[in-house]
Amino acid sequence: MSAMGRISPAAAPPGGYGGTAKALHWLVAALVLAGIAMGLTMVSLPGITPTKLRLFNWHKWIGVTVFALALLRLAWRLAHPAPPLPPSVPLWQRRAAALSHAALYVLLFALPLSGYFYSLAAGFPVVYLGLVPLPEFIGPDPALKQPLVVLHHVLAWTMIALLALHVGAALKHRWVDRDGVFERMLPRRGRPSAAEDARGRTREGMLR
């Protein structure tokens, strides 16, 4: 692996994720969890109350933000490929990881999109943060309302299932495999020195 000119702190050092990738990962994770929590809560509230209306709006703002961040993450990942898994990880797990991560990326777009179009079909355009009206690609459409809400719920539960798998697998790497894979996504304490960068994978061993 050649050191190609300046290594910026945001770019991925060999064998690990860069600061930007990690920040985006945890930011999106927090927003998705908050969005799911709000979504599950708001549909369980009876009647029409100010709290319910507020939750619906915040939930939509989170969805728009996740969509935008997902675009950013995708662009970043295409420019900065993820580090390869250590050779100790068996092939079927590599495939499962690739599949589930791809599915998560797809859901990061599809879930907010389905919600967005459901909102439009229900006659409620989205005004981001209560300030910025977002495009109304479709008008109120009673026929589309039902299929779209079903789609949004199905995708949400798929996301919940995939997240459970994702978190479960991450913890398996931490507590069972102890192969340093989990630690790759944790915030680094201080900046790596050039010598540490050159050691690459060995740094993973030092973190344990």
Partner 1 sequence: MNRRSLTALLFAAAPAAVCMPASAQAVDAARSAVSATFRQMGVPVEGRFARFAGRVVYDPARPADAQARVDVEVASFSLGDPQYDAEVRKPAWFDAARFPRASFAGAGMRPAGSGWQVPGTLTIKGRAVNVVVPLAVRREAGATVFEGSLPIRRLAFGIGEGEWKDTGLLADEVIVKFRLAVPEAEK
Backbone dihedral region for residue 130 (phi beyond 0: left; psi -120 to 50: alpha; all else: beta): left
Stretch that binds partner 1, among 29-37, 79-87, 126-134, 195-203 (CB under 8 A): 126-134
Residue closer to partner 1 (CB basis): 114 or 119: 119
Least distance CB 52 / partner 1 (angstroms): 10
Residue closer to partner 1 (CB basis): 47 or 87: 47
The pairs formed by 172-178 with CB atoms below 8 angstroms and a separation of 24 or more are 177/88, 177/89, 178/208
Site string for partner 1, 57-96 (x = CB under 8 A): x---------------------------------------
How many C-beta atoms lie closer than 10 Å to residue 64's C-beta?
17
114 binds partner 1 (CB under 8 A): no
Contact in structure between 83 and 184 (CB atoms under 8 Å): yes
- Which of the 8 DSSP states describes residue 14? T
49 binds partner 1 (CB under 8 A): yes
Pair of tokens at residue 46: 């009876």
143 binds partner 1 (CB under 8 A): no
Strands 127-128 and 132-133: antiparallel
122 binds partner 1 (CB under 8 A): yes
d(CA 160, CA 18) in angstroms, rounded, equals 26
123 binds partner 1 (CB under 8 A): yes
Least distance CB 49 / partner 1 (angstroms): 7
For partner 1, the binding residues (CB under 8 A) are 47-50, 53-54, 57, 122-127, 129-131, 133, 140, 142
